[in-house]
Amino acid sequence: GAGVSQTPSNKVTEKGKYVELRCDPISGHTALYWYRQSLGQGPEFLIYFQGTGAADDSGLPNDRFFAVRPEGSVSTLKIQRTERGDSAVYLCASKGTGELFFGEGSRLTVL
């Protein structure tokens, strides 16, 4: 597609479950970012990929969060043992040589 695609758009899960959120960046974009946006807040940086490798994962809140980008295109954000505090919109963005382009996010609700 023309833009950054994120799936699922909505995910409801129970506390303690495992979830995966997928991001399909704009074709050819080498940089990919994950952000988390809690209700009433601005997005907060989680992790940045340049190609296949995580160039900066300093924003991941703890070891329950992990992200991969094995072929340098699609990325998956993985959250283990989800907690209610993980409820948020998870935004993905990709970048070529210019500005960041964001997807519409995956809304995660942990019951």
Partner 1 sequence: AQKITQTQPGMFVQEKEAVTLDCTYDTSDQSYGLFWYKQPSSGEMIFLIYQGSYDEQNATEGRYSLNFQKARKSANLVISASQLGDSAMYFCAMSPDSGYSTLTFGKGTMLLVSP
Residues that bind partner 1 (CB under 8 A): 33, 35, 40-45, 48, 56, 59, 89, 91, 93, 95, 98-105, 107
CA distance 54 to 48: 6
- In the bound state with partner 1, the residue whose beta carbon lies nearer, of 35 and 82, is 35
CB 100 → partner 1: shortest distance, Å? Answer: 6
Q: Considering beta carbons, is residue 73 or 106 the nearer one to partner 1?
A: 106
Give the nearest distance from C-beta 67 to partner 1 in angstroms.
14
Q: How far is the CB of 16 from partner 1 (least distance, A)?
A: 27
Nearest to partner 1 of 33, 65 (CB atom): 33
What does the alpha-carbon distance between residue 93 and residue 106 come to, in Å, rounded to a whole number? 12
Greatest Cα pair distance in the chain: 40
Burial annotation 89-110 (CB, 10 A radius, 16+ → b, else e): bbbbbbbeeeeebbbebbbbeb
